[in-house]
């Protein structure tokens, strides 16, 4: 079975390609290398012993997308990761985000709707819930107005897929990720942010390795146990496996609705200080950090109710926070040749 993975050389995409290949799927990757590198292919091959087909292609070029599907007539299942994901950048460059995240989605769906049967898995985000009223967050929590163009592209993306699936042969699963961290335990692939990391865990590991002076903890006065924000940090390998399970559900026609939505998290919230403590424990070193003002747009707390994913997909996370952080640290050390 041939599966198209867009953004398959990126952080979550590459880990999902590994899990797909381990399960015997034939993978075709499209990636424009805007936030990834062809080197990632070597890591995928080192882990799985199999080389996926790779095409450097920019999904914003509609004719290139059409041409791809003319050459790969047997592709009717897509896991769609390719998108821009920096919240701050999306505020500065909204049109870039609407073009990257929405136009590309439309071009893919235009191809899929021509198939007699098609499957689509979409990378969505818990950001669609904003600051939810109740914790943990289940899939029926209200969708809040997006706080950034990035968040808006996830909401609009979900709506577009839902509208199209209703009137076509496309069956879709929307996966709302909480906070993916970590790397493959082999350290052959991992997260490699370009420039200064915006996300917590890569900033921690880059600080510990000496690339950054100290971590700024954004806000110490939130209404939480220790005053810092709470998130649900999920190991990227667990997250990748959820994509395989979701795909199999669609391929085996086990889905109850044409569009289904699942939260993907661990179900446990951790504060920023708890993440720092976990890092200090696994790395056996102190981390330089200071508490500074809150970051604009941050919510106080978000962690997942995992009942639906567990009961319907039969999927649960396996890794602990410490294991996830240890894998991120191992990767950082490998990348910097330490």
Q: Rounded to whole angstroms, what are the CA distances from 327 to 139, 209, 307?
A: 29, 14, 26
The verdict on 231 binding ligand UD1 (CB under 6 A) reads yes
Whether the ω angle into residue 74 lies within 30 degrees of 0, i.e. cis, is: no
Please choose, from the candidates 264, 275, 294, the residue with its C-alpha nearest in 3D space to the C-alpha of residue 230. 275
- Number of shown-chain residues binding ligand UD1 (CB under 6 A): 21
Coil, strand or helix at 220? coil
List 97, 107, 150, 177, catalytic entry: 150
Which of 82, 109, 200, 259 contacts ligand UD1 by CB under 6 A? Answer: 200
User: Is residue 150 flagged as an active site residue?
Assistant: yes
Both structure tokens of 173 = 């699963």
Stretch that binds ligand UD1, among 94-102, 247-255, 290-298, 330-338 (CB under 6 A): 290-298
Minimum CB separation of residue 328 from ligand UD1 in Å reads: 12
Both structure tokens of 59 = 């999904």
The verdict on 146 binding ligand UD1 (CB under 6 A) reads no
The verdict on 266 binding ligand UD1 (CB under 6 A) reads no
Stretch that binds ligand UD1, among 34-42, 70-78, 239-247, 292-300 (CB under 6 A): 292-300
Stretch that binds ligand UD1, among 209-217, 251-259, 276-284, 308-316 (CB under 6 A): 209-217
Is 298 buried (19+), middle (13-18) or exposed (0-12) by CB count in 10 A?
A: middle
Contact between 263 and 239 under an 8 Å Cβ cutoff? The reply is: no
Minimum CB separation of residue 7 from ligand UD1 in Å reads: 13
The verdict on 215 binding ligand UD1 (CB under 6 A) reads yes
Please choose, from the candidates 261, 263, 62, the residue with its C-alpha nearest in 3D space to the C-alpha of residue 165. 261
The verdict on 176 binding ligand UD1 (CB under 6 A) reads no
Stretch that binds ligand UD1, among 12-20, 95-103, 162-170, 194-202 (CB under 6 A): 194-202
Please choose, from the candidates 47, 10, 44, 11, the residue with its C-alpha nearest in 3D space to the C-alpha of residue 27. 44
Please choose, from the candidates 318, 330, 6, the residue with its C-alpha nearest in 3D space to the C-alpha of residue 190. 330
Active site residues: 150
Binding site for ligand UD1 (CB under 6 A): 85, 87, 125, 127, 151, 179, 198-200, 203, 215-218, 229, 231, 272, 295, 297-299
């Amino acid at each position: 079975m041939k599966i198209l993975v867009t953004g398959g050389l990126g952080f979550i995409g590459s880990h999902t390609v590994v899990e797909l290949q381990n399960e015997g799927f034939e993978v075709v990757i499209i990636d424009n290398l805007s936030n990834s590198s062809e080197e990632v292919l070597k890591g995928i091959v080192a882990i799985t012993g199999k080389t996926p087909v790779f095409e450097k292609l920019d999904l914003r070029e509609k004719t290139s997308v059409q041409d791809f599907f003319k050459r790969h007539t047997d592709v009717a299942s897509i896991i769609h990761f390719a998108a821009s994901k920096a919240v701050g950048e999306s505020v500065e460059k909204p049109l870039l985000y609407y073009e990257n995240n929405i136009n590309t989605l439309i071009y893919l769906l235009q191809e899929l709707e021509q198939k007699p049967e098609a499957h689509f898995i979409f990378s969505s985000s818990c950001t669609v819930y904003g600051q939810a009223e109740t914790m943990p967050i289940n899939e029926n929590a209200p969708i809040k107005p997006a706080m950034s163009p990035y968040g808006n592209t996830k909401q609009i993306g979900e709506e577009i897929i839902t509208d199209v699936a209703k009137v076509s042969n496309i069956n879709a699963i929307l996966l709302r990720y909480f906070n993916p961290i970590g790397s493959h335990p082999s350290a052959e692939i991992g997260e490699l942010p370009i420039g200064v990391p915006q996300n917590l865990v890569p900033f921690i590991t880059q600080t510990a390795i000496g690339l950054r002076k100290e971590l700024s903890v954004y806000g110490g006065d939130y209404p939480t146990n220790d005053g810092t924000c709470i998130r649900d940090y999920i190991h990227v390998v667990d997250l990748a496996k959820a994509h395989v399970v979701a795909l199999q559900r669609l391929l085996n026609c086990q889905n109850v609705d044409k569009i289904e939505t699942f939260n993907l998290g661990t179900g446990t919230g951790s504060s920023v200080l708890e993440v720092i403590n976990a890092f200090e424990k696994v790395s056996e070193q102190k981390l330089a950090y200071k508490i500074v003002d809150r970051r604009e747009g941050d919510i106080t707390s978000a962690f997942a109710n995992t009942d639906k994913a567990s009961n319907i997909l039969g999927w649960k996370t396996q890794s602990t926070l410490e294991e996830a952080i240890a894998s991120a640290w191992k990767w950082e050390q490998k990348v910097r040749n330490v």
